[in-house]
Amino acid sequence: MDIQSIKNRFGIIGNSPTLNHALNTAVQVANTDLSVLIAGESGVGKEVFSMIIHALSPRKHNPFIAVNCGAIPEGTIDSELFGHEKGSFTGAVDSRKGYFETVNGGTIFLDEIGEMPLGTQARLLRVLETGEFIRVGSSKVQKTDVRVIAATNRELLEFAQQNRFREDLYYRLSTVPIRVPALRDRKEDIPLLFRKFAADFAERYKTLSVQLDAGAQQLLVNYPWPGNVRELKNIAEQISVLSTDKHVNAEAIQRFLPQHNASSRSMALITSSGAGVPSGTSSDFKTERDILYKLIFDLKKDMNDLKQMIFDVAHNQGYTPEDPSTVAKSSILPVYADTEHIAPVATPYNVSTPILLESNTRHEDVEETLFLADREKEYITKALKKHKSRRRDAAAELGISERTLYRKIKEYDINE
């Protein structure tokens, strides 16, 4: 089966060389029983590659199951994968088969393998090497014939160096590695993907398809897309539903990009318009130079703001330097042995957060006023609300695993 037929069958859009190379590798390895490790950022479509490998393999008529290791609590993942016997733990009222037993003869896809606990990793290594496993609470060794395809958005070798992932398991899983490129690494596919998503949403919502002008397309191409294809699809849906004018320009599309990437959007607009860029230079040079200029200007502005902020705080506490710039020479204000004042320190969280000051005669303990737990709970609540309680999307937004998010929801008693 050629690559284009596979793209049509599985709904894959794009013609970038890196994407085609990953698809070619998946096709070549599909007819074997080798373990495969699919690496790539969250949202690039790693699960689709596992489906392709299974569909083109001799196991295609046998079961296929996808398991998100990061979404299963650590205390139950062994039971989910390998099964358990009745009474083996609290709540085990009956015996239960695990995925490696029920999918015998088929393929199991282990997503977010880097989130798997070390104890479970040892059990998985035994399955890969001998095809044997033991149910939780049992002493009977059972056999299974399952092909394992794993995926990760982490650097597992770095995890291995930190003793968070077994190095022997990494090499056993990555018999054939496949790296799915991030969306920003295949920019030529972004307009094609947006057009496809816009057409699909227009059909779903019985409306006209959104059309982008050249500036809007360039803005999307230059945007970094931290959420990859999943984020692009969400943006396409928002524009399709909320945009009254179906001919969208760069200014209109800006409103739909996340606020925390305002600098990226500004730079995308600069590079798309070519402002301040001499003719005859390459597009890569223009982009890199404009980004550098913008970073320098932003840094200078932030430093000026910081100087003024420290000057204002010092003035309020009775210490008035001659010029704000004299304060900025140090991250804290000067301290004298006979002062009763507590000087503030500039931090990323709260510029007036008190610290402990040392003098020749005394130490003063200062109550910490920065409540990180409250802030963390607030961010988790906002992320869940933004993504309508879709934990996977909320976890991706926060930069944590689904299992960590699940634990935090329980810890803070967050009502979804």
The per-residue pLDDT for 291 is: 62
pTM over 0.85: no
**Domain co-membership, 138 together with 262:** no
Q: Is residue 339 part of a domain?
A: yes
Q: Is residue 362 part of a domain?
A: no
The per-residue pLDDT for 224 is: 94
The per-residue pLDDT for 413 is: 81
**Domain co-membership, 176 together with 191:** no
| pLDDT tens, per residue, the chain with 416 residues | 689 999 999 999 999 999 999 999 999 999 999 999 999 999 999 999 999 999 999 999 999 999 999 999 988 999 999 999 998 888 888 999 999 999 999 999 999 999 999 999 999 999 999 999 999 999 999 999 999 999 999 999 999 999 999 999 999 999 999 999 999 999 999 999 999 999 999 999 999 999 999 999 999 999 999 999 999 999 999 999 998 888 999 998 998 988 644 444 444 444 444 444 333 444 444 455 556 656 676 776 677 777 777 767 666 666 555 544 444 444 433 443 343 443 444 444 343 444 333 334 344 333 443 456 777 888 888 888 888 888 888 888 888 888 888 888 888 888 77
Q: What is the CATH number of the domain that holds 401?
A: 1.10.10
Cα–Cα distances (Å) from 177 to 53, 69, 151, 152, in that order, read 13, 19, 10, 11
Last residue of a domain, one of 228, 251, 273: 273
Last residue of a domain, one of 229, 245, 273: 273
**Domain co-membership, 38 together with 95:** yes
**Domain co-membership, 21 together with 109:** yes
CB of 304 closer than 8 Å to CB of 284: no
**Domain co-membership, 199 together with 251:** yes
Q: Is residue 365 part of a domain?
A: no
Give CA 276 to chain center in angstroms: 34
What are 151's two structure tokens? 């995926």
Cα–Cα distances (Å) from 131 to 96, 99, 134, in that order, read 19, 13, 11
What is the residue whose two structure tokens read 């849906």?
A: 237
Domain span at 245:
185-273
Q: Is residue 366 part of a domain?
A: no
**Domain co-membership, 43 together with 169:** yes
Q: Is residue 279 part of a domain?
A: no
Q: Is residue 176 part of a domain?
A: yes
Number of structural domains in the chain: 4
**Domain co-membership, 77 together with 132:** yes
Q: Is residue 264 part of a domain?
A: yes
Q: How far apart are alpha carbons 102 and 104 in whole angstroms?
A: 6
For residue 144, which phi and psi values (nearest 5 degrees)?
Answer: -150, 150
Q: Is residue 76 part of a domain?
A: yes
Give CA 21 to chain center in angstroms: 23
**Domain co-membership, 226 together with 294:** no
Q: How far apart are alpha carbons 221 and 211 in whole angstroms?
A: 15
**Domain co-membership, 108 together with 165:** yes
Last residue of a domain, one of 273, 307, 322: 273
**Domain co-membership, 396 together with 301:** no
Q: What is the CATH number of the domain that holds 18?
A: 3.40.50.300
Q: What is the CATH number of the domain that holds 224?
A: 1.10.8.60
Phi-psi region of 41 (alpha: psi -120 to 50; beta: other; left: phi over 0): beta
**Domain co-membership, 117 together with 260:** no
**Domain co-membership, 298 together with 200:** no
Question: If 0-12 CB within 10 Å is exposed, 13-18 middle and 19+ buried, where does residue 153 land?
Answer: buried
**3-class SS of residue 41:** coil
What is the residue whose two structure tokens read 């003035």?
A: 315
